[in-house]
Structure 1
Amino acid sequence: MSAARVALVGPVHPYKGGGARHTTELAHRLRAAGHPTAVESWRAQYPAALYPGTQTVDEPEGEPYPGTRRELAWYRPDGWWRVGRRLARESDLVVLTLFSPVQVPAYLGLLAGVRSVRAGAARVVALCHNVLPHERRAVDVSLVRALLRRVDGALAHSADQARLAEGLRGPGARAPVTAVLPPHLPATGPVAAPEPGERRHLLFLGIVRPYKGVDVLLRALAAGAPDDVALTVAGEFWGGTGELSALAAELGLADRVRLRDGYVPAEELPGLYAAADAVVLPYRTATASQNVWLAHQHGLPVVATRAGALADHVREDVDGLLCAPGDVDDLARALRGFYAPGAPERLRAGVRPVDPDPYWADYITRLLAA
């Protein structure tokens, strides 16, 4: 494959979370594969009112990418076009990382700048972490359709997401490429082998939103897990903890459920995983997630629904258990099965950390083909 000059447009440090880690890791991997790569990030990605948590962190969660530029701001549309013109002159491929329709107006302005450089041959690909939000509005569909019909190609992280993107791109457009979202795990330092024995404790980790199904987990915990098993829910609660706290009390779980509100920095992860027997992912819907691999990196099995791509990384009854999304009874069944005599130790013994290199090699190949 010949070298391509690539410009990645997306969040990096000081933005937090998987999106920033993915953009940064992709830049490192592209450069290591021989493709000169630049990163164009944000001074301000979203209005604060649209993101009720903390958007940035003080310490990077991985090795920063050198030479990153941060000229884009949601409130400076005059800058979108200028950045696009510059990227068109400097790049063969411009990659727009799409997480939310809120980004689309800036991307349309940037795309207009790219297209205005007649001598440039830069192609533009939308890298869709989420084609549409899990909780969507009509305007979200209109915005994403407008973007996907103007780019040269698209990449999605599952077959379902690729079909959704294809429908929005319209007839005659090049079909989106599907690629498995590769591992881009936070740097937590050396991971110690879990201590033997049961903790009688489960962990949910990540942003808490309705589609994540934490309410389903609470009901299943009350119905299915042994009454000495506790749960920690750790992450940013969009909308606050009040509703889930009230549900836990209603179900008689107040003394068994800890709601740890706020972003979880990388240095706190080892302690949370060490205190748990398993990670539970009760998602109603999903696209792609790092949470299965992150649990396995710390030696923990996973109880997950078959939503989205979650089940693709769980070996049923080897390193985890699976259940139907949105189904309290089926999740309760899985929790009972997990705590059957000897099951936690057996499933923990089946856990193997993921090897990221093959995933990234395939991902880069597919991205450049998109």
Structure 2
Amino acid sequence: MRITLIGPAHPYKGGGARHTTELAHRLAARGHDVVIESWRAQYPAALYPGRQTIDVPEADLFAGTRHDLAWYRPDGWHRIGRRAGRGADLVVVTVFSPVQVVPYLGILGGVGGRARTVALCHNVLPHERRAVDVALTRALLRRVGTVLTHSPAQARLAGALVRGTGTEVRTAALPPHLPDMGGAAKGGGARSEGAAREPVRDHLLFFGIVRPYKGVDVLLRALAAGAPPSVTLTVAGEVWGGSEGLRSLAAELGIADRVEFREGYVASSDLPELFGAADALVLPYRSATATQNVWLAHEHGLPVIATRAGTLAGQVRDGIDGLLCTPGDPGDLARALADFYTEGTPERLRASVRPVDPGPYWDTYIDALTT
């Protein structure tokens, strides 16, 4: 099958670019003829306050990648759509934000009816949404033949938006697409015979873009209330809107000296040291769709303390390789932190951590996308 993927690739950073690129490699390995139509300018800077691109690729680049799309060049959207429609049996648009909808509608207009179309939704709707986001997303999803979502909850959301149309909604778990760490994590952490004997460091890690739905404020309240006073925390990642409010909250709670804010994008080469200094990764999300961070922690041998938001409860085995708590509840997260630091628990949970096998996830995912 000839397949065109419309989505980010290097030099764009993060899981979106890695997913598009890994998907292209996996499809090509199955014998498909694949092209990535990527961006040279994906978002206006005002709509994405963080760093958009990186210098060093986080995964093997895909040779069949073009970078002709730009948010400010609507004349190119239809042209690229026509090119995709002429050259592909299947055109896949990867959806991260309603900001992409208008360019994608232009691309799909160029495709016309010449190829089967799929909207691959990393997020059907944003976690922090505006009224216009629903209308934009509805317009896009009703223009494609199939919507692929990453959880049953997201499928229900998409189904409500396309109700009464012929658009099919499918679900497949988001497969692992971890950054290439140059082998730094290989053989360590979960794969080491000495994993259970790792010392307790009295240190926790939050990793990822900091946005309100990620619940870092909930984590700060829980740290103050439930963790032993010797336990410290690093919050590592880009902080949308600045960290002043979270820093003020930490000071108000009396834990400013226990919290380090490592602001900015964390390169994959820095991950082994960052994860290696922690006892556990904490994911205090209020809401979630799908995330790679549980698997990333497990790749480094770390247990995960997470809420039951989104797909997290399916990735963390409560009491085995991590602990689960209620989303948006500082008291229940404080309980989980206190439980984690009971004698022998960090070592016991770490000993059960296993790295994920990506193969079965990708097989199911590609079948859902291509059949």
Residue 225 of structure 2 corresponds to: 223
Q: What does 1:322-341 correspond to in 2, within 5 Å?
A: 322-341=324-343
Of residues 256, 259, 262, the one that matches 1:260 is: 262
Residue matched to 1:166: 159
Q: Which 4+ stretches in 1 moved above 2 angstroms? A: 172-175, 192-195
CA distance in 1, matches of 2:168, 2:327: 29
1:67 Cα offset (Å): 2.4
Give the structure 1 partner of residue 94 of structure 2: 97
Q: CA RMSD in A?
A: 0.9
Residue 336 of structure 1 aligns with an amino acid whose one-letter code is A
Kept after mapping to 1: 8 A contact 2:142/2:165: no
Correspondence for 1:309: 311
Are 2:35 and 1:38 aligned? yes
* Residue 175 of structure 1, CA deviation: 3.3
What residue number does 1:106 align with? 103
Match of 1:55 among 38, 52, 59: 52
1:285-364 equivalence runs, <5 A: 285-364=287-366
1:155 to 148, 153, 160: 148
Q: State the distance in 2 between where 1:263 and 1:56 align.
A: 10
Indicate yes or no: 2:26 matched with 1:29.
Answer: yes
Give 1:47's aligned amino acid.
P
Letter in 2 for 1:226: P
CA contact (8 A) 2:36 2:65 kept: yes
Gaps of 5+ in 1: none
Report how many aligned residue pairs link the two structures.
362
CA-to-partner distance for each residue in 1:249-271, whole Å, 9 max, x for gaps?
A: 11010110001110001011000
Secondary structure of the residue that 1:106 maps to in structure 2? helix
Describe the superposition over 1:90-140 as per-residue Cα deviations: whole angstroms up to 9, x where unpaired: 00000000000000000000000011xx6x3x1110000000000000111
| Counterpart pick for 2:242 among 240, 243, 252 | 240
Which residue does 1:210 correspond to in 2?
212
Distance, in Å, in 2 between the alignment partners of 1:162 and 1:308 is 12
SS where residue 85 of structure 2 aligns?
helix
The TM-score with structure 1 as length reference comes to 0.97
Question: Is the partner of 2:106 in helix, strand or coil?
Answer: helix
- Counterpart CA distance in 2 for 1:184 and 1:131 is 20
1:35 Cα offset (Å): 1.1
Where 1:176 maps in the other structure, the secondary structure is: strand
1:78 is aligned, of 68, 75, 78, to: 75
SS at match of 2:31: coil
Offset at residue 24 of structure 1 (A): 0.3
CA distance in 2, matches of 1:67, 1:360: 20
In 2, distance between residues paired with 1:196 and 1:257? 23
How far is the alpha carbon of 1:218 from its aligned partner? Answer: 0.2
Find the aligned partners of 1:245 and 1:152 in 2 and give their Cα distance. Answer: 46
Tell me if structure 1 keeps the 8 A contact 2:141–2:167: no
AA at the equivalent of 1:308? G
Is 1:20 aligned to residue 17 of structure 2? yes
SS at match of 1:255: helix
